[in-house]
Amino acid sequence: MSGPAGDRPAPRAARLVSAGAGSGATAGHADGVGDPVRVMVGLGRALDSAGLRVGPDRVAEAVRAAVALDPTRRTDLYWAGRLTLCANPDDLPKYDAVFAALTAGDVPRLRPRPQHLVRAVPVALAVPDAGGSDDEETEAAADTVLRAAASTVETLRHKDVTTLGAVERARLDQALAALSLPGESRPSRRRRPSPHPGAVDPRRTVRALLRSGGEPVRPRWTRRSVRPRPVVLLVDVSGSMSGYADVLLRFAHAATRRRGVRTEVFTLGTRLTRVTREMAGPDPERAMGAVAAAVPDWSGGTRLGVLLREFLDRWGQRGVARGAVVVIMSDGWERDDPALLGAQMRRLALLARRVVWCNPRAGRAGFAPLAGGLAAALPYVDDFVSGHSLAALEQLARIVAGVEVRGA
């Protein structure tokens, strides 16, 4: 980050546009009033700490825009910054707040970027556990380390994730990171070259003709390529799901890691939060930290019906849910009227290719789908799975990929 204001360590938010300097003939650059470089660098830094991704290139672009307008006018500065530093409708309220604070002379309270980790237990797969809490491991310690690791993962696979110790959880997280979640495949509009007779590829055929000087050659073929369908994960992070939310979000992170697959992740609690952006990046711990900072309503109540409606209005109907495999990860405890949830599930079922409901509590003995919301939703669910253990999540991945089909 270089720039005239780069030598100051903190974003010095001077009164950037003071009342007197509004249309004053002298744009007093000496004290920073009306100096677009200072304004934009200050804005950029404040926005960066508010969680927007603002690089020096965008700040430079903002300065260029401000200079092209009238940098002594507050509204021109506002629009120059907003057009260049925001890239998302979600950015706009943050930008408005930061801009208002900066131009009123207040220094916005800088929040450090979310780098703290929700839970980080550094355990290597190959180190046998010395503590006596996990009994399978002491038994396996005599064996070679690799075999030990493999067998623990095997016993881990079928255990309910809420019953795991810290060390087992760390291993589970590693196993989760290896999963991927492509949606079932569908034919794409794109065509690929194919060695087998099918539709003629005029481009390649004529190219071959040209190469042979116009003499007839064997025609070239194409076939339709296939692409995975997009996957949408709606993860319930309310109080009743607290034991499972972290595991399910890690599963969601692994699911978003695969390139070429469109995966969207939302959390449901008292509010709907889109966390797809926070999930970006290869490191699960960092991603979980970012998600934790972005989700305002951990362990609150659930308003499934209202939130599902919000999801469908703001995202689903526009295209996010169209033709997608939608996975709802929730126990279905609904605080409000289940009828609303039923109506929204019907809408979802009409838009999505498949609706999968993953209820970790379904893995418990004697489970019956009695939760009011769940009973209302089930008629519109294509697959109903448990997802309480690693094996159950692997099964979920197979169902989403269309490899395994299981009715609700």
Partner 1 sequence: MDGRGLLPVGVESPADLVGRLAEVGYLADEGLATAAYLGLRLHRPLFCEGEAGVGKTELAKALASVLDAPLIRLQCYEGIEASQALYDWDFPRQLLHLRTAEAAADFDPTAVEQELWSRRFLVARPLLQALETSPSVLLVDEVDRADDEFEAFLLEVLSDFSVTVPELGTLRAEVPPAVVVTSNRTRDVHDALKRRCYYHWLEHPEFDREVAIVRLRVPEASARLCAEVTAAAHALRDADLLKPPGIAETVDWAQALAALGAPGLDPGLAAATLGAVVKYREDVERVRSLDVGALLTRAVMGA
Q: Closest approach of Cβ 262 to partner 1, in Å?
A: 6
Residue number with CB closer to partner 1 (155 or 188): 188
**Smallest gap, in angstroms, from Cβ of residue 318 to partner 1?**
5
Q: Considering the complex, state which of residue 63 and residue 161 has its C-beta at the smaller distance from partner 1.
A: 63
Binding mask 85-114 for partner 1 (x = CB under 8 A): -xxxx--x----------------------
By CB under 8 A, is residue 199 in contact with partner 1? no
Three-state secondary structure string covering the chain: CCCCCCCCCCCCCCCCCCHHHCCCCCCCHHHCCCCHHHHHHHHHHHHHHCCCCCCHHHHHHHHHHHHHCCCCCHHHHHHHHHHHHCCCCCHHHHHHHHHHHHHCCCCCCCCCCCCCCCCCCCCCCCCCCCCCCCHHHHHHCCCCHHHHHHHHHHHHHCCCHHHCCHHHHHHHHHHHHCCCCCCCEEEEEEEEEECCCCEECHHHHHHHHHHCCCCCCCCCEEEEEEEECCEEEEEECCHHHHHHHHHHHHHHHHHHCCCCCCEEEEEECCCEEECHHHHCCCCHHHHHHHHHHHCCCCCCCCCHHHHHHHHHHHHHHHHHCCCCEEEEECCCCCCCCHHHHHHHHHHHHHHCCEEEEECHHHHCCCCCCCCHHHHHHHHHCCEEECCCCHHHHHHHHHHHCCCCCCCC
Is 209 a binder of partner 1 (CB under 8 A)? Answer: yes
Residue 218 in contact with partner 1, rule: CB under 8 A: no
Interaction between residue 64 and partner 1 (CB under 8 A)? yes
Our finding on whether 262 is near partner 1 (CB under 8 A) is yes
**Count of residues of this chain found to bind partner 1 when the rule CB under 8 A is applied:** 44
Instruction: Give the residue with the Cβ less far from partner 1, 8 or 113.
Output: 113
One of 8, 20, 24, 79 touching partner 1 (CB under 8 A): 79
Q: Which residues bind partner 1 (CB under 8 A)?
A: 53, 55, 57-58, 61, 64-65, 68-70, 75-76, 79-80, 82-84, 86-89, 92, 188-190, 202-203, 206-207, 209-210, 213-214, 262, 264, 276-277, 313, 317-320, 322, 347
